[in-house]
C-alpha cells in the first residue's frame, strides 16, 4: 500500500523535485527524486556507486559507507 | 510530541516513519548517531527536549549502546536496551524463548572447534550454524556433512572476531519453503507475511517472495508470549511451520517493515505511530537537561 506513497503525499518534499547534483565518484550529473532525506542512500545511474545524501538543500552527496557485518534488523 | 529518530542510514522504513510522524504534525529530530557523543550523564543531543526516542540504527552494535544511553538519560526509547540486548543476541533470544516455554529450534553453543563438531554430529545432518549476532541471513551455514562442518568451523575460527568462535549450532527445521514474519506492538500482532523462497534462507532482504499471512489464534498466542519473553516493544517475530506446530527462531528489535507494508492492507506505519503516541503520552519524560 506504500508503493507509490512518496509520489502521492503532499507537503513532504524536502528538496525540490528533480534537484541536480553530481556524483562524487565519477562526476556524472544526477537527478534526485523528491522527498530526499539526509542519510538516504541513492545509486549513481552512471557508475553504480552507492551515495549518501549528506545535505538536502542544495543536495550534497558523499560515498556511502560500506555494509558492516552487524547491519540488519 | 517531539520524537528523536536515531539512525545512520535512512532506508524506506525510516522514510515511511518520518513521513507519517510529520504528516501528523509531530516534530521529528533526526539524530545521526555517527555525529554524536554519549557521556555518562549527558550527550551531544538534548535528550530532555524529546518525548520519545525511536532507535532505527542499522548497526546492531550502535543500537545496543545508544539505547543504553537514552534509557540512562530517562528518555522513553523504542525499543528499550534490555529488549535490544536479548533480541540482538541469538543465544539470549533462544534462552528467553525456552524459559517462556515457547517452541524454538533445539540449539547448542560450543566454544571450540572440537566441541562444536561433536555437537554438530550429535544433531546429525543437515544442521545449521549461525553467528550469534547477525541479520539478513549473513554467514548462516546449512551443513550437510563432516567435511563441510570441519571446513566451516576452521574458517570461522580464523575470521578474527571473537564472536565467530561462539559456535551457535541449531537443528535444521525442514520448513515448507517459507517462514512467517509477524510485526507486533507490545505483543499485539499488527500484520504478518509469508516469505517463500527456493533457498533455505527465506529473508525478504534476500529476495524471498512475500504474501499476506492470515494470523490465526495459535500464531497470535505465540507472538504475544514471545514478545513478553523478550520485553515487548516494536518487534518482528519470525516463525517456521513444523509437523508439530509453529516454532519461533528469531525476534527482531529494529524490525524492517517495508516489505510487509507492501503486501498487507494494514496501515503498518500508522499503527506504529498510534502506538508511539500512546507510549509518549504515558511516559513522563523526566530527563534532566543533559546537553553537554
- The shortest CB-CB distance from A68 to any of B59, B255, B267 is to B59
Q: Which of A56-70, B65-79, B105-119 has the lowest mean pLDDT?
A: A56-70
Is residue B292's pLDDT more than 60? no
pLDDT confidence band for B284 (50 / 70 / 90): low
Tell me the pLDDT of chain B averaged across its residues.
94
pLDDT confidence band for B285 (50 / 70 / 90): low
- For A13, the closest chain B residue by CA position comes to B19
CA distance B248 to B171: 13
CA distance B205 to B269: 19
**In the block, which residue shows the cell 512518496?**
A6
Q: Where are the beta strands (DSSP E) in chain B?
A: 2-7, 27-32, 52-55, 77-78, 107-110, 127-130, 141-143, 167-171, 178-185, 188-196, 209-212, 234-242, 245-252
Number of structural domains found in chain A: 1
pLDDT tens string B136-180: 888 999 999 999 999 999 999 998 889 999 999 999 999 999 999
Q: Which of B37-46, B116-125, B134-143 has the lowest mean pLDDT?
A: B134-143
Contact A3 B262 (CB under 8 A): yes
- Whether A20 maps to a domain, the answer reads yes
Is residue B129's pLDDT more than 50? yes
The CATH-assigned architecture of domain B107-171 is 2-Layer Sandwich (3.30)
CATH code for residues B86-102+174-253: 3.30.470.20
- Whether A34 maps to a domain, the answer reads yes
- Whether A41 maps to a domain, the answer reads yes
- Whether A59 maps to a domain, the answer reads yes
Domain residue limits at A51: 12-63
Report the pLDDT value the prediction gives residue A73, as an integer from 0 to 100.
85
- Whether A5 maps to a domain, the answer reads no
Has the ipTM of the complex gone over 0.90?
no
Contact B262, B212 (CB under 8 A): no
Is residue A25's pLDDT more than 70? yes
- The shortest CB-CB distance from A73 to any of B9, B161, B236 is to B236
CA distance B126 to B142: 6
Contact A37 B265 (CB under 8 A): no
Structural class in CATH, domain B2-79+275-282:
alpha beta
The four Cα atoms B145, B149, B151, B157 give a dihedral, to 10 degrees, of 180
- Where are the domains positioned within chain B? 2-79+275-282, 86-102+174-253, 107-171
Say which DSSP state B291 is in.
B
Grid coordinates belonging to B19: 513521513
pLDDT confidence band for B275 (50 / 70 / 90): very high
What's A27's domain CATH number?
A: 2.20.28.160
pLDDT tens string B215-253: 999 999 999 999 999 999 999 999 999 999 999 999 999
Mean pLDDT of B170-196: 97
Which chain A residues are closer than 8 Å to B134 by Cβ? 69-70, 72
Amino acid at each position: 500500500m506504500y508503493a507509490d506513497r512518496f509520489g502521492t503525499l503532499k507537503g513532504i518534499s524536502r528538496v525540490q523535485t528533480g534537484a541536480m547534483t553530481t556524483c562524487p565518484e565519477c562526476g556524472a550529473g544526477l537527478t534526485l527524486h523528491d522527498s530526499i532525506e539526509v542519510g538516504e542512500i541513492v545509486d549513481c545511474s552512471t557508475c553504480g556507486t552507492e551515495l549518501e545524501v549528506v545535505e538536502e538543500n542544495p543536495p550534497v552527496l558523499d560515498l556511502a559507507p560500506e555494509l558492516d557485518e552487524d547491519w540488519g534488523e | 510530541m517531539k520524537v528523536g529518530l536515531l539512525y545512520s542510514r535512512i532506508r524506506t522504513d525510516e522514510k515511511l516513519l518520518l513521513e507519517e510522524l510529520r504528516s501528523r504534525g509531530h516534530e521529528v529530530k533526526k539524530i545521526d548517531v555517527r555525529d554524536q557523543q554519549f557521556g555518562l550523564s549527558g550527550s551531544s543531543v538534548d535528550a530532555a527536549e524529546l518525548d520519545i526516542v525511536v532507535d532505527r540504527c542499522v548497526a546492531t552494535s550502535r543500537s545496543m549502546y545508544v539505547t543504553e544511553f537514552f534509557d540512562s538519560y530517562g528518555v522513553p526509547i523504542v525499543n528499550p536496551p534490555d529488549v535490544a540486548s536479548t533480541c540482538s543476541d541469538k543465544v539470549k533470544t533462544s534462552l528467553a524463548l525456552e524459559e517462556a516455554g515457547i517452541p524454538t529450534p533445539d540449539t547448542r553453543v560450543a566454544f571450540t572447534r572440537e566441541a562444536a563438531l561433536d555437537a554438530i554430529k550429535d544433531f546429525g545432518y543437515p544442521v545449521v550454524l549461525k553467528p550469534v549476532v547477525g541479520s539478513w541471513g549473513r554467514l548462516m551455514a546449512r551443513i550437510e556433512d563432516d567435511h563441510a562442518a570441519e571446513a566451516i568451523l576452521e574458517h570461522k575460527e580464523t575470521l578474527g572476531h571473537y564472536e565467530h568462535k561462539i559456535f551457535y549450532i541449531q537443528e535444521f527445521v525442514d520448513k515448507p519453503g517459507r517462514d512467517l514474519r509477524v510485526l507486533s506492538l507490545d505483543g499485539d500482532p499488527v500484520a504478518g507475511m509469508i516469505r517463500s523462497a527456493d533457498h533455505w534462507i527465506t529473508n525478504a532482504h534476500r529476495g524471498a517472495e512475500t504474501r499476506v499471512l492470515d494470523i490465526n489464534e495459535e500464531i497470535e498466542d505465540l507472538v504475544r508470549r514471545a514478545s513478553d519473553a523478550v520485553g515487548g516493544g516494536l518487534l518482528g517475530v519470525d516463525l517456521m511451520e513444523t509437523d508439530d506446530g509453529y516454532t519461533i527462531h528469531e525476534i527482531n528489535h529494529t524490525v524492517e517493515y517495508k516489505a510487509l507494508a507492501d503486501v498487507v492492507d494494514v496501515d503498518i506505519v500508522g499503527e506504529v505511530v498510534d502506538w508511539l503516541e500512546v507510549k509518549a503520552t504515558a511516559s513522563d519524560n523526566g530527563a534532566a537537561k543533559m546537553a553537554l
